[in-house]
Amino acid sequence: MIIRFYSITGRTESIENEVRALVNDIKAELAKRGVGEDKVRLTIIKVRGDVIDDVIKYLDQPEGKIPGQYKSLIVRMRQDGVSSFPAMVINDRKVAEGSELTMDAIKAALAKELKEEFNLEIPSVTSPIPQAQPVSTPQPQPIQPPPPPPPEIPPPQAIQPQPVKPITPPPTPPPPVTLQTPPTPPQPTQVQQTVTIPETPVTTGELGFKIVNGRPDNCNDCVYYGAHKGYCYLFGFRVNDPSKPPCKSIA
């Protein structure tokens, strides 16, 4: 019995593994009856998912237009009558392909071939695959109606002005009491004495300089010049030559 399984890389590994397990069970059962393992051969043809469309596109093309990397695969697919992936072929007869290839279909085809070729029944092959229990979908909870809107609050009542009662003036206060202030004792009279200081004329020889209005032509005639330090105390200058006052150059 020759089995060929056309597998899609990265998509049909689960079916591929189950087919391998079934073939191993068949070989083990045949070995118990003295039948060699070479009587059952499994070939897995893997095709990448990104080239499936290209392979199917070239199935009906002449052999001369088929790319070299696809030629041997397309020749085998034509011989097996395969036009979609995945697919299963047993003894050169296609079992199923595409979405119709299920484990139930594979087991049914294997059980038929084992019965016809070896008159053999294997429980792992003939037993149907347990059906998955339907998943109960939780019922949606009823949507509670929204709460009623709050009652409308009536607008506030207008406040009526109340009549104002006349204000009674307070009673007239009694007349203020005048306190008698004791007389102020007389202050002693201060006697002012005028002291006359005789004016003494000041000469240039006593002061060491003569008084000149404005800026003199010589620092020695200025009251702000310190001859012993050579310094002008008015402008803060160092005077190098008293005959040339530096203040003359200041506006």
Phi, psi for residue 237 in degrees, rounded to 5 = -100, 155
The pLDDT profile of the chain, 251 residues, written as one tens digit per residue, is: 999 999 999 999 999 999 999 999 999 999 998 888 889 999 999 999 999 999 999 999 998 899 999 999 999 999 999 999 999 999 999 999 999 999 999 999 999 998 998 888 877 776 654 544 554 555 666 677 777 777 777 666 666 666 666 677 777 776 766 656 666 666 655 545 554 444 444 444 444 556 666 788 899 888 888 888 888 988 888 888 888 888 888 76
Per-residue pLDDT, 77: 94
Per-residue pLDDT, 109: 92
Total of domains in the chain: 2
Whole-model pTM?
Answer: 0.49
Confirm whether 118 is domain-assigned.
yes
Confirm whether 179 is domain-assigned.
no
Do 99 and 6 fall into the same domain? yes
What is the rounded distance in angstroms from the CA atom of residue 183 to the CA atom of residue 236?
62
Do 119 and 219 fall into the same domain? no
Do 116 and 210 fall into the same domain? no
Per-residue pLDDT, 211: 60
**What is the CB neighbour count within 10 angstroms for residue 19?**
21
Q: Which of 126, 155, 180 is the last residue of a domain?
A: 126
What is the rounded distance in angstroms from the CA atom of residue 184 to the CA atom of residue 91?
152
Confirm whether 116 is domain-assigned.
yes
Do 225 and 109 fall into the same domain? no
Confirm whether 30 is domain-assigned.
yes
Residues in the chain: 251
CA distance readout (Å), 69 to 66, 76, 158: 8, 13, 97
Per-residue pLDDT, 146: 76
Confirm whether 69 is domain-assigned.
yes
- Identify the CATH number of the domain in which residue 65 sits: 3.40.30
Confirm whether 189 is domain-assigned.
no
Confirm whether 235 is domain-assigned.
yes
- Tokens found for residue 81: 């009558």
Do 121 and 208 fall into the same domain? no
**Helical spans, DSSP H, in the chain:** 13-32, 52-57, 68-80, 103-118, 123-126, 204-207
Per-residue pLDDT, 128: 57
Q: Which of 106, 126, 146 is the last residue of a domain?
A: 126
**Domain membership of residue 37 as a residue range:** 2-126
